[in-house]
Amino acid sequence: MRYLVAGLGNVGSEYAGTRHNIGFDVVDFLARKHEVVFTPDRLADVAEIKYRGRYLRLIKPSTYMNRSGRAIKYWMEQDKISTDRLLVIVDDLNLPLGKLRMRTKGSDGGHNGLADIQAVFGNSNYARLRVGIGSEFSKGAQIDFVLGRWNAEESKALVERLPLAAEAALRFSAQTVGQVMEWANAQ
């Protein structure tokens, strides 16, 4: 059985280590844990891991956050993966730092990456794992906060939280989506 796990972020060194790239951070964690490396491919950097007899294609779209839908659609078609086997991992500033929230459908919540996926798919019926990045910014500074780098305290907290987000992605391939949601949303 094949699954697609898309970690959203922006390519380029200027975006590495920023809050908006937490989706990339989660799939990078999974790749390191399973001792595989990402390789550049069409519309994304890709890696593949095996977990409990299932294959998970990990992608980091190279289309930038606001155009993620095209890359995800391409890899779903390439690997013949249905939307019930797609998990998108994104940042969420409406959640406290490191808090996980998984849903199987819903609005984009103002997230441009999710909005693009919805536009490409024509619906919002796919699983998404939102990872909280906090909201410690002053009025009008949202973009600077989201595209800003983690401070030392946040980085320390992420060391404990990234493994939980990665675990949710693995569970997505091995349990019912209801079980995964219950587990992830309790974290």
Structure tokens at 118: 């919805």
Does residue 34 have an active-site annotation? no
Contacts of 147 (CB under 8 A, 6+ apart): 15, 18, 19, 20
Q: Give me the catalytic one of 4, 11, 20, 23.
A: 20
Buried/exposed code over 133-162 (b: 16+ C-beta within 10 A; e: otherwise) = bbeeeeeeeeeebbebebeeebeebbeebb
Instruction: Point out which residues pair with 129 in neighbouring strands.
Output: 89, 102
Task: Point out the residues that are catalytic.
Answer: 20
